[in-house]
Amino acid sequence: MSEAREEAAWLVAAQDGDGRAAAALVDRLGPKLLAFALRMTGGDRPAAEDIVQEAFLRLWSRTKRWDPDGPARLSTWMGRVVANLAIDRARLAKRESGGEPELDPIDPAPSVEDRLAVGGSLEAALDALPDRQRQAVLLRLVHGYSNTEIAEMMGCGVEAVESLTARGKRRLSQLLDETEVGDV
């Protein structure tokens, strides 16, 4: 049985009240989703845990409507929910602080804040990427999703994913090069 079929079978069993199937699904998807949410929230564990919990609540509320033969894999759908929740949380925080949410600029020049935020680590450099670039880079390079799966999660085309990933990698490389130069 494929991983996607197994996840769908667990969801159907969980919908019928099988607690072990629900736990197996959480055990399978939870750690990867939490790791992704942690990166999307800049390491804010409580926020990441809240996001993953909300994603599972949304899943449980729609188990009766889930189509195991539909176009999206369960893990892909959950990844998209986590990404959207993390982006919504970041936008809300920026609005509440009086700032505007950062949109994905075409070619962002490093600001003073970006250079200071890099601080010599890959994690800080990832945090300095625009949200959608960071999301694409993390999903592709860290979590190993295909471009097609990422496109489904992000609600865009495969070409857009390829562009976001390429720009994100290029910007990440620049940020890391700047850090190396600054450390010498």
Mean pLDDT estimate for the chain = 78
DSSP assigned state of 95: H
Mean pLDDT within 138-167: 86
What's the CA gap between 180 and 50, in Å, rounded?
A: 35
Statement: residue 5 has pLDDT above 90? no
pLDDT digits (tens, 9 = 90+) for 88-142: 888 888 777 765 544 444 334 444 344 434 444 677 777 788 888 888 888 888 7
| Residues constituting the chain | 184
The more confident residue out of 49 and 125 is 49
Residue 164: C-alpha distances to residues 1, 47, 107 (Å):
33, 25, 11
Q: Band the pLDDT of 164: cuts 50, 70, 90.
A: very high
Class of residue 113 by CB neighbours under 10 A (exposed 0-12, middle 13-18, buried 19+):
exposed
